[in-house]
Amino acid sequence: MKGLSSFDQLAGRYFKEFGLQLLLLDLHGQVVCGQLCCSQPGSDLWCRQARDRAIHETLRWGEPYLHLCQSSGCIIWGIPVMDNAQVVGGIISGGVPVDGCSGEKWNAERIRKAAHRLFELVVEANLTNAALLELRRLDAERESRRAEAIHELKSKCYDSIRDIYLREEPGLLASIKQGDRNQAREILNRVLVGIYFLGRDRPSLLKSFLLELVVMMSRTAVEAGAEPSELLGANFSSLVELASISDEAELSAWLVSMLERIMDSIREQKAYPNTVLLTAALQFMEMNLDKDISRDDAAAAACMSPSHFSRLMKEKFGRSFTELLTQMRVDKSKELLRHTDKSIVRICLECGFNDQSYFTKVFQRCTGCTPRQYRLNSRSSFR
């Protein structure tokens, strides 16, 4: 049996911390050494089943599993003893009566703490495969998130795949532009869950939406600075692969791999993030000069935090958001004054100035003359 001396040391430390005994079991569930306070004569078969369940559920979920032993009415927990990926036994502790859980000494929080501490000590003593258990824990966590996503999807009663697609598209695009892989993966997972739930019996429809997703993500990547020719080549070879895929898991893996390629293509463009995202903000400002827009609105259009956006604006243009927005509004008003016969009041409103006297004051500060004088001067110069 593996690690008897390590077990003795571990048992001593554990008893000192929690006042609980440990059992060391062999591969067949037989007690090698130790005894729990809940052990009762004639109940070995039931207790053995409970111990086996506690160990194998911990192996399944990758973290300590609390189990109620029906024979003793006590809570136990166990950690598998492993040689590489092979289970060769287990370590059991607990024996805490259920009706004692609400007491001061053994409440639910202390029981969880004791179970996790045993896990830590067994790992520290190198008596189990910590890496394998961590993989199991991560797998269980992913399945839990998937189940939650399906439950959330059902509760929201989406009428169609298109609803899911339109709902998640803005967040996915923003994540791709920001180069935020984790956020993009999380959103993509929600999209996939929704698509598969609603379109599981229509494989051709599934593929059409996956193609639409790839086209949309690729277009966003190009806008974010990725090299179009590289993406086109990668997409062509991947579309050939898609034609031969029919399994749901393979379709998911294909789409995730496409996302990774797209994110890689953005990352390779060193000048991408600041220049492209600031351009998106300027375009937003230019298209909304007549509206009451804020710095936070422009930062959101650029997929940046407001503080980061302000810092980059100052570095790139030497001006604050307000200063640059004012200059853009004045520039537009100059163009309208030169090339249209619109009234100054109308130009004032179309350029985002709600008060004509304020518009005149700002315009004069930027140009050295009033809007009316500017119009007369610009037109006389063409005669």
Helix (H), strand (E) at residue 81 = strand 74-83
Does the CA dihedral 19-25-31-32 come out positive or negative?
negative
Q: What is the CATH number of domain 4-133?
A: 3.30.450.40
Q: What is the mean pLDDT of each run of 10 residues along the chain (383 residues)?
A: 72 90 86 68 63 88 84 84 90 76 68 91 91 87 72 50 69 74 77 67 68 75 64 61 72 76 63 65 88 87 77 85 92 91 91 89 92 86 52
Q: Where are the alpha helices (DSSP H) in the chain?
A: 4-18, 44-61, 108-124, 130-156, 161-178, 181-199, 203-223, 228-243, 248-267, 272-287, 295-301, 306-317, 321-339, 344-350, 356-367, 371-380
pLDDT at 372: 92
Cα angle 342-343-345, degrees, rounded to a multiple of 5: 130
pLDDT at 157: 40
Beta-ladder partners of 231 = none
Distances (CA, A) of 21 to 3, 14, 335: 17, 8, 85
Report the side by side order of strands in the sheet with 66-69.
Answer: 31-33, 23-25, 86-97, 74-83, 66-69
pTM of the prediction?
0.40
List the chain domain ranges. 4-133, 158-267, 273-380
Cα R_g (the chain), whole angstroms: 33
- Of the candidates 150, 77, 154, the one whose C-alpha atom is nearest the C-alpha of residue 116 is 77
Q: Which tokens hold the place of 355?
A: 């008060």
Say what the pLDDT of residue 347 is: 92
Q: Cα(118)–Cα(92) distance, rounded to whole angstroms? A: 9
Contact predicate 165/191, CB 8 Å = yes
Angle at the Cα of 316 from the Cα atoms of 312 and 321, rounded to 5 degrees: 60
pLDDT number for residue 364: 93
Q: Around Cβ 13, how many Cβ atoms within 10 Å?
A: 15
Tokens encoding 70:
């029906």
Q: Which CATH superfamily is domain 273-380 in?
A: Homeodomain-like (1.10.10.60)
